[in-house]
Amino acid sequence: PNFDDAKWTIMRIVGGTIGRRRPPFLRYRVKKLPEGPQTPGVGSERGRSLPSLEFAVHPATCGRILVVYPGLGATIDGESRALTSSHPLRYRRLAEKLQEERVAAVVRLANPGDGYHAGGARAVDRLRRGLDEALRHARALCGTHDPELLLMGFSAGAGAAAALAREYRPKRLLLVAPSEDAGRERIVAGLRKYPRRLCIVVGDEDEVVTREAGSRFDKISPIARRKEVIYVPGCDHFFSSDEHDRFLEATVMHVFALRNKSRPETDDDSR
């Protein structure tokens, strides 16, 4: 852990002075954690072994950390090649843009398919482990021990993000094409008492979760503040076209970019 913190701190400080010209080895670092003894979850979620975790870290001095959990089978870089040929480097590109503009330090996770054999519990545990790692190393990643936590999930990853919304209370939560692969009961329990900013984005022609995913997730998040539900005309599940990919990038910036970078956001700003 001390070596990791030193490495990420150097990347954050040195890379920050270089800005957009930073070389690749100062942009991000990939790390893998083996399966662990047990999860620190609560209630029925406690006691399972921790799943292995592959993640990439983009440090940035900004006081904010965004954790990105992609869809089923996706890598740390982009969408699963087994499901789509579109945008295999989507999440790396988004992370580098957020890092360059100092919107947030970014931690992007892989989401292997082995997480969904037991009702999605293992996939939720993997995200929980990724969130814990991000918060444990917050000072090295973003320059403060008490960062603003942001969370983005896509498809199956969005369902897992919703399931942990109540537990981690991210300042802002973006769910793109959310599915219920993580277990509807978990998702309802996690989202129904989530009180902060929520944005749900669904393609109007989504062939996987369908357009109705937007209304379902809207209904189970009644107290979210500044909630937005966006339906994208002509868009499929993977935001495959270049136009829809650009729209997704613009939405990420819209949701997570600070309106006033001179001060941290407060709960009042989210109403």
Instruction: Quick: pLDDT tens for 168-223.
Output: 999 999 999 999 999 999 999 999 999 999 999 999 999 999 999 999 999 999 99
Q: 């942001």: which residue's tokens? A: 150
- Residue 174 belongs to what H/E stretch? strand 172-176
Listed in sequence order, the DSSP H helices in 19-164 are 90-100, 121-136, 138-142, 156-163
Average pLDDT estimate for 6-22: 89
**Contact by Cβ (8 Å): 114, 125:** no
User: What does the buried/exposed string (b/e) look like for 224-248 if buried means 16 or more CB atoms within 10 Å of the residue's CB?
Assistant: beebeebebeebbbbbbeeebbebb
**Coil, strand or helix: which one is 90?**
helix
Amino acid in the structure at residue 44: S
Residue 1: the pLDDT is 77
For 67, which DSSP code?
E
Q: Give the integer Cα–Cα distance in Å for 1 and 131.
A: 15
Give the HSE-up count for residue 102: Cα atoms under 13 Å, Cβ half-sphere: 17
Strands 148-154 and 64-69, sheet pairing:
parallel
Amino acid in the structure at residue 113: G
pLDDT digits (tens, 9 = 90+) for 144-182: 999 999 999 999 999 999 999 999 999 999 999 999 999
